[in-house]
Amino acid sequence: MPSVLPDGEPAPADGALPASVLDGAEDRAFGVYVHVPYCRVRCGYCDFNTYTASELGGGASQAGYAAEAANELSFGADVMRRAGLPERPVSTVFFGGGTPTLLPASDLAMLLARIRDEWGLAPGAEVTTEANPDSVDEAYLATLAEAGFTRVSFGMQSAVPHVLQTLDRTHTPERVPVVVAAARAVGLQVSLDLIYGTPGESLADWGRSLDAALENAPDHLSAYALIVEAGTKLAGQIRRGQVAEPDDDLHAEMYEMLDARLAAAGYDWYEISNWSRTPETRSRHNLSYWTGEDWWGAGPGAHSHVGGLRWWNVKHPRAYAERMAAGLSPAHAREILTEEARHSERVLLETRIRDGFPIDALSEHGKQAVAELIADGLVDGRAALGIAGAERRIVPTLRGRLLADTVVGKLLR
């Protein structure tokens, strides 16, 4: 089942934002995330805030969800206006889940239109939806493209049937090239998501999945090591000895294979788990998370961030629907990040990206750790030394990407 919400201070019923969110707001980009909490089948590894039809119960309707989310988008625009935030057109939009494409394409188009009406879309805005390969066809994708969507991110995960079966995925490997071609036919960029380290997946299996992904020539590719989350079906299977635990050494071998194969095919890493064909096809929405921009997250369990204030919505679609029907903020709780917390979070996130973290922004203890990190082969020495006059930055090496927690730990000690 989905993990529990974090604790925090009570969120005001009217959604009011503190004056502190105004500091530097004109210099921060603004994006919107829309969470669609529905899936046809719950995957055994997943602890995201998603629900199947049998889990919803009364008081929550998938058919009525788009209208509820649209109401929150209008509510959010009003909250931001009342706070005195500068008008900023939305630079990125991301529909995630769950499976956003379980909703009719017209619902997603309507929600994008509401975002456009309330905030405006910046020229060249990136608009993405996640999709399962078996949840769309060319007609569906054409409706999205006509509405203004620019990207679709397919949850491919693997090209090996027994791996897909272990993950409880409902599509077949043969479906992926069909929907990739359909997306391209209507002018959408394509991203593929992969998972490695599934119990029973060999290095050869992983190589097959990489080959299949590259045959589709995606504009962007994300690949994540499988994490066994407590309370999931997969965690129970491992506890009962039905499947083997993930192997950290095999994970590392798979990552090294991944990075080498993608580099040979012309892809460049820009975040530990993300590669793109060109800088222009990076996920600007995800980069906004890693670089501390502002975003409004709509939907059950969605998180938002504006100027160092973070809040998160109630999780269950029924509770969310009740809040929206009453005209109340759907926020469950919130926190104002301290300067120390903001610094730690910035180090944690920006050391994951190719552009790196500026050494001058480190604490004195952090600066003293840089030489050791270079000597250990965890940080790019040329970037850290500012060769050719560039700003001195912490950029992880391949080894540093594999040991990212170690890098962050030394910089924050």
DSSP annotation string for 268-316: EEEETTEEESSGGGS-HHHHHHHTT-EEEEESTT-EEEETTEEEEE-SS
Six token digits for residue 287? 């980069």
Question: Rounded CA gap, 358 and 404, in Å?
Answer: 16
Give pLDDT, residue 234.
65
Question: Rounded CA gap, 408 and 396, in Å?
Answer: 10
Q: Is the dihedral of CA 243, 99, 354, 219 positive or negative?
A: positive
CA distances from 94 to 81, 122, 247, 286 (A): 22, 14, 32, 9
Q: Answer yes or no: is 305 within a domain.
A: no
Q: Answer yes or no: is 94 within a domain.
A: yes
Residues 206 and 57 reside in one and the same domain: yes
Q: Answer yes or no: is 322 within a domain.
A: no
Residues 363 and 235 reside in one and the same domain: no
Question: Would you give the distance in Å from CA 49 to the centre of its chain?
Answer: 13
Q: Find the DSSP H helices in 120-231.
A: 138-147, 161-166, 175-185, 203-215
Question: Rounded CA gap, 214 and 54, in Å?
Answer: 37
Report the CATH number that the domain containing residue 57 is assigned in CATH: 3.20.20.70
Pick out the chain residues at pLDDT < 50: 1-2
Amino acid at 360: D
Determine whether 186 is exposed, middle or buried from the number of CB atoms within 10 Å of its CB (0-12, 13-18, 19+). middle
Residue 301 CB coordination number (10 Å): 23
Our CA dihedral for 250, 255, 256, 258, rounded to 10 degrees, sits at 120
Residues 255 and 369 reside in one and the same domain: no
Give pLDDT, residue 21.
97
Residues 395 and 263 reside in one and the same domain: no
Its domain, for residue 63, covers: 9-290
Give pLDDT, residue 48.
63
Q: Answer yes or no: is 349 within a domain.
A: yes
Pairing label, strands 331-336, 309-313: antiparallel
Number of domain units in the chain = 2
Residues 142 and 266 reside in one and the same domain: yes
Give pLDDT, residue 241.
72
Q: Which of 258, 290, 322 finishes a domain?
A: 290
What residues are paired with 53 via a beta bridge? none
How many CA atoms does the CB half-sphere of 133 hold within 13 Å?
Answer: 24
Amino acid at 216: N
pLDDT tens, residue by residue, 397-407: 999 999 999 99
Residue labelled with tokens 């100027």: 307
Which pTM does this prediction carry? 0.93
Whether residue 224 contacts residue 193, with contact meaning beta carbons closer than 8 Å, is answered with yes
Question: Rounded CA gap, 185 and 182, in Å?
Answer: 5
Distance from the first to the final alpha carbon of the chain: 35
Give pLDDT, residue 231.
63
Q: Answer yes or no: is 268 within a domain.
A: yes
Determine whether 396 is exposed, middle or buried from the number of CB atoms within 10 Å of its CB (0-12, 13-18, 19+). buried
Residues 274 and 389 reside in one and the same domain: no
Whether residue 131 contacts residue 155, with contact meaning beta carbons closer than 8 Å, is answered with yes
Q: How many residues does the chain have?
A: 413
Q: Answer yes or no: is 330 within a domain.
A: no
Whether residue 304 contacts residue 295, with contact meaning beta carbons closer than 8 Å, is answered with yes
